[in-house]
Chains A and B, each alone.
Chain A
Amino acid sequence: DAKTTQPPSMDCAEGRAANLPCNHSTISGNEYVYWYRQIHSQGPQYIIHGLKNNETNEMASLIITEDRKSSTLILPHATLRDTAVYYCIVRGSNDYKLSFGAGTTVTVRA
């Protein structure tokens, strides 16, 4: 399993972009990068995923470096409701489980 490294916490001002880094230097060629978040007391929520190319959806953007050893999740306009623990996970498409590490606790401040 490819291991990921994320900062334990970060603050962000409401309305500003939040950039969440993730290192995954041992990622293999067929492994995707997934991002989930868990708002307090709720189940984890899928945000976005990618293999090589940058991806964007209605929630966020995912920037993956060319060597695929790191990535950044971008929340373009953070709101108070984005306060959550964000998990970066590297998995193959056929892997049956998601291994959730400690994640990054993001606090959006007014």
Chain B
Amino acid sequence: NAGVTQTPKFQVLKTGQSMTLQCAQDMNHEYMSWYRQDPGMGLRLIHYSVGAGITDQGEVPNGYNVSRSTTEDFPLRLLSAAPSQTSVYFCASRTLDRENIQYFGAGTRLSVL
């Protein structure tokens, strides 16, 4: 059971480039989400999804797009990378029952030059 898997682990982009951060979970969780964590700070929610075909914005959605075509996958797209998007990105998943326990991936460390 792999849990939540994020790829790549590290990425360097130039300003204006686009890329997709991948997230996959094998726990059949309905809910998936993306957070970013800047140095010395807590996690901030970017986007989330409560099931295939359903997505919504979190606290800091600007500059990011998401889609949810399957239960397992929830990719995060940076359309035109900016230095302000340099951060560590975490994907998480949970079931929609009352326990509300979230499981996190190992993170993707992104630098935008």
A and B, one complex? yes
Q: Which residues of A contact B (CB under 8 A)?
A: 32, 34, 36, 41-46, 49, 87, 91-103
Q: Is the CB of A49 within 8 A of B101?
A: yes
CA distance A101 to B40 in the complex (A): 11
Question: Cβ of B106: which chain A residues have Cβ within 8 Å of it?
Answer: 42-43
Q: Is the CB of A46 within 8 A of B42?
A: no
Partner of B45, one of A32, A42, A97: A97
CA distance A80 to B37 in the complex (A): 24
Question: Cβ of B43: which chain A residues have Cβ within 8 Å of it?
Answer: 44, 98, 100
B74 within 8 A of A: no
Q: Is the CB of B98 within 8 A of A93?
A: yes
Q: Is the CB of A42 within 8 A of B42?
A: no
Q: Which residues of B contact A (CB under 8 A)?
A: 4, 31, 33, 35, 41-43, 45, 48, 50, 56, 58-59, 90, 92, 96-107
Question: Cβ of A36: which chain B residues have Cβ within 8 Å of it?
Answer: 102
- Minimal beta-carbon separation of A35 from chain B (angstroms): 11
Partner of A43, one of B56, B99, B104: B104
